[in-house]
Chain A
C-alpha cells in the first residue's frame, strides 16, 4: 500500500521534469529561429543590391569608353560624383525612391611597408555605430596615384585597390 503511493509520486516528478525541460526548449528554439532568419534576409537583399550597384558602376556604357564610371571616380577621387552615382542606382525604384545610406572607403597596399592601408572616399553619412550595415566591395585598377587625394602615402605605381562600401537602411 505504502509503496504504490510512492510509485505515483516518482512518476509525477519525472513527468514534470521532462515537461518543464521541453517547454523551456520549445520557447527558446521557436523564438530564436525566427529572429535570426529575419535579420539574414534584409542583409542578403542589401548585399546583393550593393554588389549590383558597384558592378554596374564598373561597367562601361559604350565599347569606346576608356574607363568605367567607378574607375574614373576612384582615379580622380570624385567624392560627390561617386556618391551621386551610387545613391542614384541604389535608391532607384519603380515607385518613390528608397532611402539607403552609405560610406565608402578605399583600401590600398603600401609597397614599402607591405601593409594594407585605407582612406575614406566618402564618409558623409552619419553613423551611430549601431546600424546593421553590410559591406560590399569591388576591385579597381588605377594606373597611378589617384588625383585630388590628400592622403600622402599612396604609391604612384599602377595598382589594384579595393573599394569598400558600407550600406545600411536608415
Chain B
C-alpha cells in the first residue's frame, strides 16, 4: 500500500510540472498575438497626421509672415501654441529665421518643436 501511494505522488508531480511549463509557454505565445494589435495602437499613438498638419500650418505662417516679429505674427504664433496645448495636449513652438542662400535658393531656416508627452519631434527645415 505504501508503494501505491508513492506512485500517485509521481503522477501528481508530473502533472504539476507540465501545467507550470505550459503556463510559461502560453505566456510567451500570447505575447506574440499582440503584434497586430500593437500595430494599430502604434499608428494611433504616433501623431504622424498631427505633425504633418502642424508643419503645413507653420509653412502657411512663414508664407504669410516670413521671419517678421510683430503684433499680428506673434498673435498667430500664440494661437497655434495655445490651441495645441488646449486641444491636443501638445507643447508646440516654432520660429523662422532670415533667408539664407542654400544651393542657389534663398530659404528660411524654420525650427519646429512638438512634444505631446509620448512623442517628441524636433525639426529644422529650410523653407
Contacts and interface: CB of A to CB of B under 8 A. Distances in A.
Tell whether any CB of A sits under 8 Å from a CB of B in the complex. yes
Interface of A: 1, 4-5, 7-8, 11-12, 14-15, 18-19, 22, 26, 29-30, 33, 36-37, 40-41, 43-44, 47-48, 51, 54-55, 58, 107-109, 111, 114, 116, 136-139, 141, 157-162, 164
Interface of B: 2, 5-6, 8-9, 12-13, 15-16, 19-20, 23, 26, 30, 33-34, 36-37, 40-41, 43-44, 49-50, 52-54, 56-57, 60-61, 64, 72, 75-76, 78-80, 82-83, 86-88
Q: Is the interface of B mostly helix, strand, loop or mixed?
A: helix
A81 B33 CA distance: 45
A40 B20 CA distance: 32
Contacts of A1: 2
29 contacts: A7-B9, A8-B5, A8-B8, A11-B9, A18-B19, A22-B19, A36-B37, A40-B44, A41-B37, A44-B43, A48-B43, A55-B49, A55-B53, A107-B83, A107-B87, A108-B83, A109-B78, A109-B83, A116-B82, A116-B83, A116-B86, A137-B53, A137-B88, A139-B53, A139-B56, A141-B60, A158-B75, A161-B83, A162-B83
